Chain A
Amino acid sequence: GAGVSQSPRYKVAKRGQDVALRCDPISGHVSLFWYQQALGQGPEFLTYFQNEAQLDKSGLPSDRFFAERPEGSVSTLKIQRTQQEDSAVYLCASSLSPPWSTDTQYFGPGTRLTVL
């Protein structure tokens, strides 16, 4: 079946612009995670959802970052007033079970954001 998809795959933004990154999880997956991956580093947790509920947003680096999953399926990560330090690959992952059951996460291809 279809895996996790993300769009756009590449995004170039001017400093100060707002951006919206989309994630389509695997159908039926309860949990959805967002990660930020800087060049040469491992993914760093940003936030996760169980269905439409955002249960943990402790990894969001600032109040310029906002994520939502209003219908418990597609999720959007929004970054307001982008800064150069926001440049990274943003990865989305989904898993079948609720977060506390520690199920396998399946990653999307990521969105590479470059802020000029």
Chain B
Amino acid sequence: GENVEQHPSTLSVQEGDSAVIKCTYSDSASNYFPWYKQELGKRPQLIIDIRSNVGEKKDQRIAVTLNKTAKHFSLHITETQPEDSAVYFCAASTGNQFYFGTGTSLTVIP
């Protein structure tokens, strides 16, 4: 089955700096890669996703890049704000199942 690894597990950045979270996957059949933000005690919320026919996608301060050859994808948050503090999960899916990374706890220091 698919194995998704996510790094780092914790990340602290100064407000206004950029944050990068990286994930790797093992199943070359995976073709959909969403990123979720989960605040403490709340549901995971989709923040951005990318499909395998695209190398990069951007939505305001958030961007995701995908390298299918290397089987890795990354989340980039620019101009971080304190409200970006949360746990972020990557996931990979072939369509039948979603496999999640173990999460990155991001803290943005004001």
Contact = CB atoms under 8 A, between A and B. Distances in A.
Interface of A: 4, 33, 35, 40-45, 48, 55-56, 59, 91, 99-102, 104-110
Interface of B: 4, 6, 31-32, 34, 36, 42-46, 49, 51, 89, 91, 93-103
Given A104-B46, A110-B43, A56 B96 contact: yes
24 contacts: A33-B98, A35-B100, A40-B103, A42-B6, A42-B100, A42-B101, A43-B89, A45-B99, A48-B96, A55-B96, A56-B96, A59-B97, A91-B43, A99-B95, A99-B97, A100-B96, A101-B95, A102-B32, A106-B46, A107-B43, A107-B44, A108-B43, A109-B42, A109-B43
B97 A45 contact: yes
Nearest to B44: A107
A45 B1 CA distance: 12
Contact of B102 (A41, A45, A59): A41
Nearest 7 A-B pairs (CB), nearest first? A42-B100, A102-B32, A102-B95, A100-B95, A107-B43, A109-B43, A107-B44
